[in-house]
Amino acid sequence: MATVNKLFKKININGAVRTNEPMSAHTTFRVGGPADLFAIPVSTTDIVALLQFANRTGLPCFVLGGGANLLVADRGIRGLVIDMREFRHLRREGNELVVGAGRAVSEAAAAAVEMGLGGLEFLYSMPGSVGGAVWMNARCYGHSIDEILTGVAYVDEERRLQHYTPDPADFAYKRSPFQGRNSVMYTIRFRLHPDDPAVLRRRMSDYYRDRESKGHFAAPSAGSVFKNNREFGAPTGKLLDSLGLRGYQVGGAKVSDLHANIVINTGDATAADIRAVIEHMQRQAEVHLGLQLEREVLFAGEW
Ligand SMILES: Cc1cc2nc3c(=O)[nH]c(=O)nc-3n(C[C@H](O)[C@H](O)[C@H](O)COP(=O)(O)OP(=O)(O)OC[C@H]3O[C@@H](n4cnc5c(N)ncnc54)[C@H](O)[C@@H]3O)c2cc1C
């Protein structure tokens, strides 16, 4: 590993490179041990060089957006983490918004509104990056991001620059074609529509207030732990509530008092504490309701 670290520090990219980077600084849960190698590319050339390095050294690669849907293990992540935060470009082309994958999706929504463009505001105040939202096919307030997606520029597994034009058949509830692949999205295009900024701003503050009332900003979390499933007849939060799970605690991790599908870090939680709470919720749903909940929060790193 020492040799790999030395080689990594000499890598020829314009972005920053670090070793032993604490992932707790990059996740909304505020937990997670160190990533062996951590890079912040500033161009597609940097991304390609990083993927080449990982390929040459046989190291696994993990792409990081806003870390808003991740539970990173206390032992951290072996291999290379590529942090997309510098891909923040944003411009209007007619009624399309062209955005860097690392830009916060909430910022992109607010910028679109100031340009008089509506369609992205449902994601205002949802944590995470534009790339992460596309990867997750983020959904809230009755809309999913695939409804407005018109294109994705990405670097593929073979380190080639590619362009993807969305096919509705590739997307489903919280599913996108980028899941299960090792590609790095860097620019995303959305089809929006002209609308009155005053109306859009009001809508954004309604969304913000709704999230605030559900405690989304009160403590570190990764939002909903489990996906909803129509076949279960009720939202997962309601189902978990019926099991009296609010307030269930292991160490510093606790099921939110405000929402039974959200686990919070009360201050000193470890990733293991959070995982233990999540697994307890899953077991309770299985034992008492006969339901297999599908996890939405991703477990990453070395467990
Ligand atoms: C308070 C709170 C509320 C939330 N509410 C909602 C909600 O209403 N609806 C909802 O859907 N989610 C919600 N979430 C979860 C989270 O905000 C979304 O899943 C978000 O889209 C994750 O984006 P991210 O950039 O943080 O991705 P990350 O957590 O960093 O990564 C998620 C996955 O995307 C991949 N990825 C990220 N960027 C790229 C890229 N550029 N190229 C390739 N792969 C990439 C990562 O490798 C990883 O596999 C909430 C989270 C919090 C903390």
Q: Residue 287 pLDDT > 90, yes or no?
A: yes
DSSP 71-96: EE-TT-EEEEEEE-TT---EEEETTE
In the chain, the percentage of residues whose pLDDT exceeds 90 is: 94
Give me the mean pLDDT over the 259-287 stretch: 98
Please give the domain boundaries of the chain with CATH numbers for all domains.
Answer: 2-83 (3.30.43.10), 90-203 (3.30.465.10), 218-300 (3.90.78.10)
Tell me, using a 6 A CB cutoff, whether residue 124 lines ligand 1. Answer: no
Q: Is 224 tagged catalytic? A: yes
Cut 0.95: pTM above it? yes
- DSSP-derived letter for residue 301 is S
Which residue(s) pair with 21 in the sheet?
35
Cβ proximity of 264 and 253 under 8 Å: yes
Tell me, using a 6 A CB cutoff, whether residue 131 lines ligand 1. Answer: yes
pLDDT digits (tens, 9 = 90+) for 73-125: 999 999 999 999 999 999 999 999 999 999 999 999 999 999 999 999 999 99
Q: Residue 40 pLDDT > 80, yes or no?
A: yes
Distance in angstroms (rounded) separating the CA atoms of residues 196 and 113: 8
pLDDT digits (tens, 9 = 90+) for 203-245: 999 999 999 998 899 999 999 999 999 999 999 999 999 999 9
Q: Residue 289 pLDDT > 80, yes or no?
A: yes
Q: Is 158 tagged catalytic? A: no
Tell me, using a 6 A CB cutoff, whether residue 126 lines ligand 1. Answer: yes
Query: Letter for the amino acid at 10?
Result: K
- Residue nearest ligand 1's atom 43 by CA: 184
Cβ proximity of 152 and 145 under 8 Å: no
Of 224, 231, 242, 279, which one is the catalytic site residue?
A: 224
Task: Give the burial string for 175-210 (b: 16+ CB within 10 Å, else e).
Answer: ebbbeeeebbbbbbbbebeebebeebeebbeebbee
The pLDDT of residue 74 is: 98
Distance in angstroms (rounded) separating the CA atoms of residues 47 and 83: 10
Q: Residue 2 pLDDT > 90, yes or no?
A: no
CA neighbor of 179 nearest in space, from 131, 245, 248, 244: 131
The pLDDT of residue 214 is: 87
Query: Letter for the amino acid at 8?
Result: F
Question: Can you tell me which residue has the tokens 């919720």?
Answer: 281
pLDDT digits (tens, 9 = 90+) for 178-205: 999 989 999 999 999 999 999 999 999 9
Distance in angstroms (rounded) separating the CA atoms of residues 99 and 123: 14
Tell me the pairing of strands 221-224 and 262-265.
antiparallel
Mean pLDDT over the full length of the chain: 96
Q: Which of 46, 135, 210, 298 to mutate to test the pocket of ligand 1 (most atoms within 8 A of CB)?
A: 135
Degrees (nearest 5) of the Cα angle 108, 128, 51? 100
